[in-house]
Amino acid sequence: MNGYQAPVVTKAFRLLEVISRRQEGAGISEIARILNISKGTVYGIAAALEDAGALVRDPVTKRYSLGFSLVELGRRARKGFDLNSAARPHMQKLMERFNASVFLGVLNGNHVTIIDVVESEHELKITSPVGSTVSLLAGAVGKVFLSAMEDRKISEILVGERLSAYTAHSIIEPAEYRKAVEAARISGYALDDEEYILGVRAAAALIEGPLPVPAAIWVVGFKTDLAGSTMEILGAAVKAAAGAIAEDLRARRA
């Protein structure tokens, strides 16, 4: 990150994030309260974003929702590095093997943004919409992203972000979490045994290919559905899929 920052741009992105998390949209006063900035500032930014097509304003409720220009920008961003098309066949194979949902995501600040999902064929399944985010310190996917970082950066994140007790199995002590990250660094995959959601297991691996941002793939399923596979088998399969995706990406750029 360079030393120059544009406060208005930062506020604009924070505003978009607030609105994106509200299905019914958000009004000026609500946004101002959440971001702790003046209504006048919010109004000015929202008006500029509306002119650019990034926001739409309901004439009745006066609430803002995301605009369709963001859809087009997102489509171009996904197309830009071919990750989705390279990963999709391998995600499908993982889903068919384990009958669990498979996610593809990229590192986005202190969150992971989901950019593709192949859902389990079970009627009851774990899923999340494309575009949604996961905390960097949540479950297997967070550990695997941290495993590729320098120890200094990991320390900064653990100081700035509190480890949450999502379940009774969650790792909430920084020293223990570091051990889990180190285990992921050694094995090439990270595991989550009911740490994020009770009754749910997951395994994640980094895609170490020619990408502009760090990316990972992870499998998530109910413990009962994955009972026929050990966590190590699941982890090794996800690691192999991530490696195959990376190879496909390199071949496309050769």
Give the pLDDT confidence score for residue 174 in this predicted structure.
93
State how far the Cα of 81 lies from the Cα of 61, in Å rounded to an integer: 39
CA dist 212 and 190 (Å) reads 22
CA distances from 15 to 39, 43, 207, 228 (A): 12, 11, 31, 45
Of 202, 247, 178, the C-alpha closest to 98 is 202
Whole-model pTM: value is 0.72
Domains of the chain plus CATH, in order, are 7-71 (1.10.10.10), 81-253 (3.30.450.40)
* Amino acid at the residue 195: E
User: CB neighbours of 68 closer than 8 A, spacing ≥ 6?
Assistant: 53, 56
Whether the predicted pLDDT of 1 surpasses 50:
no
**Both tokens of residue 213?**
């941002």
Cα separation of 211 and 224, whole Å? 35
Of 216, 207, 215, nearest to 243 by C-alpha is 207
Q: How many residues does the chain have?
A: 254
Residue 8: pLDDT band (50, 70, 90) is confident
Question: According to the model, what pLDDT value does residue 237 have?
Answer: 97
Please answer whether residues 180 and 163 qualify as being in contact, where contact means their C-beta atoms are separated by less than 8 angstroms.
Answer: no
43-85 residue pLDDT tens: 999 999 999 889 999 988 999 999 888 877 776 666 555 889 9
> Higher pLDDT residue, 79 or 91?
91
Taking only the tens place, the pLDDT of each residue in 171-200 is 999 999 999 999 999 999 999 999 999 999
Backbone phi, psi, residue 47, to 5°: -65, -40
